[in-house]
A and B are shown apart, each in its own frame.
Chain A
Amino acid sequence: MSVSEGTRHSSGVSPTTARRRDRWADWAVILLVVVALGLGLLLREMTLYRYDAFAVADGDISGRVPANWLREYGDDPLLRARDPRSGAFNTALLLRTRPLAAEMDPTLPLQSLALERAGAVTAYETLETDEVAVGGRTAIQRTFTYVQADRNPYVDRLPVVVKGVDLALQDEGRVVIVTYLADVDTFDEGYRYFRDFVESIEF
């Protein structure tokens, strides 16, 4: 037979309640930490993936590039955005257009772009070509790699293996080519920027 015995407490809280409160406190701490880390993740999202709007070709093409990236505008490429922090090779997003008749194969300008690039870099090699869906449209995407060796004789730099993607979006009479270039070690990390950039492009 089990019995319990007790008496009235003169003041304060019953031990049971106290213990229950202790447990609540413990859970509260855990909850607090989870919330704090959640907020931290949110902060990380917001900081890393913040974008600024841009427009080139007299407003014809617009989109969003990562904030804090250096932006250069020109004739070709129309826009070149680079991450100044990303180490020896600056991760870059480029935007170009090439004229192309509507019925022609969109791979054609990618071919000429590849040949042009191959002349300026070392060990250029195409890895694969696929069709991808971008915002409801299909587009041709080509992945390639090359070695970037800096030609400056006065500063020593190690050559960098660069992995890149050319994506051709078809438009009337032309092809808009988006290029993503990154050091092969940080390629996956920056891929999200490329996707966000491509999806933000409007023309």
Chain B
Amino acid sequence: MKRRTRLLIAGLAVLAALSCKPSSPEVLPTLTPRPTAPTPSEDVPVSEPAPVPAVETDDGQVRKNLIRSTVQIVALVESGGRLQSLWSGSGTILSPDGLILTNYHVAVGYDSRYRPDELGVAITVRSDEPPEPSYFAQVVAADPHLDLAVIEITTDLDGGPVDRDQLNLNYVSMGDSDLLELGDVVQVLGYPGIGGETITFTEGSVSGFTRERGVDGRAWIKTDATIAGGNSGGLASGVGGRIIGVPTQAGRGDATPEDIADCRPIADTNGDGVINDNDDCVPLGGFINALRPINLAKPLLEAARAGIAPVPTPGPGGGAQISGAARFYNLVFAPDATANDQPTQIVTRLPSGATSVCVFWDYEGMADGMIWEARWYHEGEYLEGASRPAGPWSGGTRGNWWNGLINSDGLPEGTYRVELVVDGASLAEGTISVGGTATDASAITNLAFSDSRAETGRPANAGYLLPSGISAVYAYFDYDNMRDGTPWSRVWFYEGEPIAQGSDTWEGGASGGWWVSLSADEGALEPGSYRLELYVEQALVAASGFTVAGTQAQEAIGPITFASGVDAQGNPVNPGTRFASGLQELRFFCDYAGMQDGMAFDERWLLGGQEIVTFDLTWEWGESGTYDNSIYRTSGDPLSDGQYNLELYVEGQLVQSASATIGSGTPPPTPEPSPEGLYVVGYVYDADTGAGIPGAMFIVLEPGVTIESWDFSDAQVYTGADTGVDGYFELPLPLERGQSYSMIVVAEGYLPFGGDDVPVGNEPSPHEIEIQLQRE
């Protein structure tokens, strides 16, 4: 063989040996197939949508925002280091730092025997997949009477504290539930089943409103949408993707406690390792057709934001403890309720065109937690849209209550019957008819009380709370359609017992003002609660209660003094009305006199005009002395700046108010969702392989900055995002329409790719973009 040839072969052999070193990865990496473009806003199962007027270019973005803001809440118990799920419900994210609104019974439960140890929050990332567990949360503000609660995301899945400022979750902004009208479209999102199910979307329309005592304005929004139980606590949204209500438990017409709460065995209560009918049932979601108006949740949300809401200890709840002793009596009707929860006037008939009717009654032997409802019937037909849904009683043992229905277009004429049902038993019922012209029956209205006597008109201090030490009380009222010669009478009650009465023949003319009085025979009138009932021809036409408290020299509650704390002797520290930022607790002091143990005493705090917390207390501090209380943040952080108002109520009547300012007086602004703009998401692919490029960065520069002129400082960057494992990214900030931005996409080993002044037009949001990068 020729020498050269031998050399050649030798050289080849050496090269062959050299080339066998692994210069490429030995293991063939799994192929990452080109992902199919997802369309998250298209995959939600939707009932036929009502026609939407005018094209909203950002409708897809609104829908996506709603989907991402509706979370699944899972109630968990811990035993032996393991977590077991009890039930699940839905919730709505109301702020990007993790405040979630839901029902009280989803967060805390119905039954005191089954309280969750943890609340898990799962978020829908893709609407065709079940939600992904993402965080743990805790209750920060709750109202069992309204059945609403606000929970706050506290830790991530491995138990580490979450940096709330970095959460940046999708959220919905608050709508105004008072603006809803009959027939308005309502969209409900939530999670109906116990896990494994995707988010569902139901649409319906508003079918009615109800009112009740203890709730200002609309108490319930009824809807004809069929909402499954797990949606409880979820999102009901109106126009523009704003939340207008919270779907809340309700019952069917013939509910028993078990039926209401859809009791199911889902916890291993007998500890045998198996869940079957041998276990006790846990109250759960049933059928829902009512929404709690969002306006009722606003104080809770403010309290949660301010961080100072005390979480009330849950009431006994669950099965009726006192049965048979509950009694409803003195059922009367009135067109409306006064601010003091008294009937405006007692009627037996309403003219056509009346927009509301309320039923009042006294009660005793009740207990918080008993399931009750008010069923209204019109001409024998059950009014689903107007009846008060079954729910837990929260009025205490005895007192008076009212419930009503409203129809701003005027109640349809006919006979209305109301039936009050407690724990499945009908305790009272009454009938009233609507129709005809304004009645010409005698009407007595505006019943109010005062300790001073005026011959014409009424004194300025006429109200429902009188100072103690008075010897006489005068009841002033207006009257219409009275006829001279008609027999009329009045009955005075003290603590529910009649103590005086009188009867006369009317001689005041057809209409005008009148007064009647009650005086103590010796000394002063006893402090306590009174009622006056007025009858015309044996028919009750007016009734109202009033309270005697306080002293002659001084009102029941004296002026309020604010302070930053209390010293060991019980004196205020740094009294004043202006406090520096960083105040830990805001304390107030007030003298009181003539108070009586057992009276209802409410403290209502407002921040920046918004109610943040109300303490409903029963007076137990004796007749006179100095009272003090305070508010502070449960997290230990100082109170936020702002103007705080305190209102004190005795027996439901405002007796004192004062305000104090912390810091500059302006609290930090609540974040509003970004204005309309184009949200950009997309994929970055390798041009040769079609696989996604993880770790690439998509950068958008501030308008006016070109790629050349960019000096790599973060100040010139408008927004940017890193790609995930499949090359997917989402820009966190929207791009302004009509604006042009320079954009670059960089990744290691690829030629950089970008463009200056890319215009943003009318593309629908969210907009998906696909970028291909060339390898070097």
Known: A151-B156, A156-B724. A87 touches B714 (CB 8 A): no
A119 and B748 contact, CB distance less than 8 A: no
Whether a CB of chain B sits under 8 angstroms from the CB of A78 is no
User: Restricting to B155-180, which residues have a CB under 8 Å from any CB of A?
Assistant: 156, 158, 160-163, 166-167
A156 and B695 contact, CB distance less than 8 A: no
B722 and A88 contact, CB distance less than 8 A: yes
A119 and B160 contact, CB distance less than 8 A: yes
A89 and B712 contact, CB distance less than 8 A: no
Whether a CB of chain A sits under 8 angstroms from the CB of B729 is yes
B747 and A85 contact, CB distance less than 8 A: yes
Whether a CB of chain B sits under 8 angstroms from the CB of A135 is no
A69 and B712 contact, CB distance less than 8 A: yes
Residues of B near A129 (CB, < 8 A) are none
* Range for the number of chain B residues in contact with chain A: 20 to 34
B724 and A70 contact, CB distance less than 8 A: no
Whether a CB of chain B sits under 8 angstroms from the CB of A111 is no
State the Cβ distance, A164 to closest chain B Cβ, in Å.
18
A158 CA to B723 CA in the complex, in Å?
11
B730 and A154 contact, CB distance less than 8 A: yes
User: Restricting to A21-80, which residues have a CB under 8 Å from any CB of B?
Assistant: 52, 67-73
Whether a CB of chain A sits under 8 angstroms from the CB of B123 is yes
Residues of B near A120 (CB, < 8 A) are 160, 163
State the Cβ distance, B169 to closest chain A Cβ, in Å.
8
A151 and B166 contact, CB distance less than 8 A: yes
Residues of A near B162 (CB, < 8 A) are 151
B728 and A155 contact, CB distance less than 8 A: yes
State the Cβ distance, A2 to closest chain B Cβ, in Å.
22
A84 CA to B744 CA in the complex, in Å?
11
A18 CA to B295 CA in the complex, in Å?
101
| B695 in complex: contacting residue of A70, A72, A73, A88, CB < 8 Å | A88
Whether a CB of chain B sits under 8 angstroms from the CB of A157 is yes
Whether a CB of chain B sits under 8 angstroms from the CB of A86 is yes
Whether a CB of chain B sits under 8 angstroms from the CB of A136 is no
Residues of B near A67 (CB, < 8 A) are 712
Residues of A near B123 (CB, < 8 A) are 153
Q: Which of A88, A89, A122 has the most CB of B within 10 A?
A: A88
User: Restricting to B700-724, which residues have a CB under 8 Å from any CB of A?
Assistant: 712-715, 717, 721-724
Known: A85-B746, A85-B747, A86-B748. A156 touches B699 (CB 8 A): no
Known: A84-B746, A119-B160. A157 touches B724 (CB 8 A): yes
Q: Which of B158, B712, B746 has the most CB of A within 10 A?
A: B712
| A72 in complex: contacting residue of B158, B714, B723, B730, CB < 8 Å | B714
B68 and A154 contact, CB distance less than 8 A: yes
Whether a CB of chain A sits under 8 angstroms from the CB of B510 is no
B694 and A155 contact, CB distance less than 8 A: no
Binary B-proximity of A103-125 (CB < 8 A = 1, otherwise 0):
00000000000000001101000
State the Cβ distance, B83 to closest chain A Cβ, in Å.
20
B695 and A153 contact, CB distance less than 8 A: no
B748 and A155 contact, CB distance less than 8 A: no
A122 and B160 contact, CB distance less than 8 A: yes
A84 CA to B722 CA in the complex, in Å?
9
| A73 in complex: contacting residue of B156, B160, B713, CB < 8 Å | B713
A122 CA to B155 CA in the complex, in Å?
13
Residues of A near B13 (CB, < 8 A) are none
Residues of B near A158 (CB, < 8 A) are 694, 725
Residues of B near A88 (CB, < 8 A) are 694-695, 722
Residues of B near A89 (CB, < 8 A) are 695
Residue in A closest to B68 when the chains form the complex, CB atoms: A154
B726 and A156 contact, CB distance less than 8 A: yes
A119 CA to B713 CA in the complex, in Å?
28
A122 CA to B724 CA in the complex, in Å?
19
Residues of B near A70 (CB, < 8 A) are 712-714, 717
| A154 in complex: contacting residue of B125, B156, B166, B746, CB < 8 Å | B125
A155 CA to B697 CA in the complex, in Å?
13
Residue in A closest to B710 when the chains form the complex, CB atoms: A70
Whether a CB of chain A sits under 8 angstroms from the CB of B656 is no
Residue in A closest to B723 when the chains form the complex, CB atoms: A155
Whether a CB of chain A sits under 8 angstroms from the CB of B132 is yes
Residue in B closest to A85 when the chains form the complex, CB atoms: B748
B695 and A86 contact, CB distance less than 8 A: yes
State the Cβ distance, B720 to closest chain A Cβ, in Å.
8
| B724 in complex: contacting residue of A69, A119, A155, CB < 8 Å | A155
A87 and B160 contact, CB distance less than 8 A: no
Residue in A closest to B732 when the chains form the complex, CB atoms: A152
A156 and B697 contact, CB distance less than 8 A: no
State the Cβ distance, A118 to closest chain B Cβ, in Å.
9
A87 CA to B713 CA in the complex, in Å?
19
A157 CA to B722 CA in the complex, in Å?
9
Known: A86-B748, A153-B125. A68 touches B712 (CB 8 A): yes
Whether a CB of chain A sits under 8 angstroms from the CB of B205 is no
Binary B-proximity of A138-155 (CB < 8 A = 1, otherwise 0):
000000000000010111
A71 and B699 contact, CB distance less than 8 A: no
A73 CA to B712 CA in the complex, in Å?
12
Known: A70-B714, A86-B748, A119-B160. A156 touches B132 (CB 8 A): no
A140 CA to B36 CA in the complex, in Å?
51
A154 CA to B125 CA in the complex, in Å?
5
State the Cβ distance, B277 to closest chain A Cβ, in Å.
38
State the Cβ distance, A187 to closest chain B Cβ, in Å.
15
State the Cβ distance, A58 to closest chain B Cβ, in Å.
17
Residues of B near A90 (CB, < 8 A) are 697, 722
A11 CA to B501 CA in the complex, in Å?
153
Whether a CB of chain A sits under 8 angstroms from the CB of B134 is yes
User: Restricting to A155-170, which residues have a CB under 8 Å from any CB of B?
Assistant: 155-158
User: Restricting to B495-539, which residues have a CB under 8 Å from any CB of A?
Assistant: none
Known: A70-B717, A71-B712, A157-B724. A87 touches B729 (CB 8 A): no
State the Cβ distance, B715 to closest chain A Cβ, in Å.
8
Residues of A near B694 (CB, < 8 A) are 87-88, 157-158
B748 and A87 contact, CB distance less than 8 A: yes
A106 CA to B634 CA in the complex, in Å?
37
State the Cβ distance, B414 to closest chain A Cβ, in Å.
53
A67 CA to B132 CA in the complex, in Å?
40
Residues of A near B160 (CB, < 8 A) are 119-120, 122
Known: A70-B714, A86-B695. A153 touches B729 (CB 8 A): no
A70 CA to B699 CA in the complex, in Å?
10
B697 and A84 contact, CB distance less than 8 A: yes
A24 CA to B747 CA in the complex, in Å?
45
State the Cβ distance, B478 to closest chain A Cβ, in Å.
62
Residue in B closest to A183 when the chains form the complex, CB atoms: B695
State the Cβ distance, A161 to closest chain B Cβ, in Å.
14
A15 CA to B725 CA in the complex, in Å?
66
State the Cβ distance, B191 to closest chain A Cβ, in Å.
16
A157 CA to B134 CA in the complex, in Å?
14
B712 and A155 contact, CB distance less than 8 A: no
A52 CA to B746 CA in the complex, in Å?
20
A72 CA to B720 CA in the complex, in Å?
13
Residues of B near A52 (CB, < 8 A) are 712
Residues of A near B717 (CB, < 8 A) are 70
State the Cβ distance, B421 to closest chain A Cβ, in Å.
44
Known: A119-B161, A154-B730, A155-B729. A85 touches B697 (CB 8 A): yes
Residues of A near B723 (CB, < 8 A) are 155
A157 CA to B746 CA in the complex, in Å?
18
State the Cβ distance, B710 to closest chain A Cβ, in Å.
10
Write 26 A-B pairs (CB below 8 A) sorted by A numbering. Answer: A68-B712, A70-B714, A70-B717, A71-B712, A71-B713, A72-B713, A73-B713, A73-B714, A73-B715, A84-B697, A85-B747, A86-B748, A87-B695, A88-B694, A89-B695, A90-B697, A119-B161, A120-B163, A122-B158, A153-B125, A153-B134, A154-B125, A155-B730, A157-B722, A157-B725, A158-B725
A contacts, CB < 8 Å to B:
52, 67-73, 84-90, 119-120, 122, 151, 153-158
Additional A-B contacts beyond A86-B748, A154-B68, A155-B728 (17; CB < 8 A): A52-B712, A68-B712, A70-B713, A70-B714, A72-B714, A73-B715, A85-B697, A85-B746, A90-B697, A119-B161, A153-B123, A154-B125, A154-B730, A155-B729, A156-B726, A157-B722, A157-B724
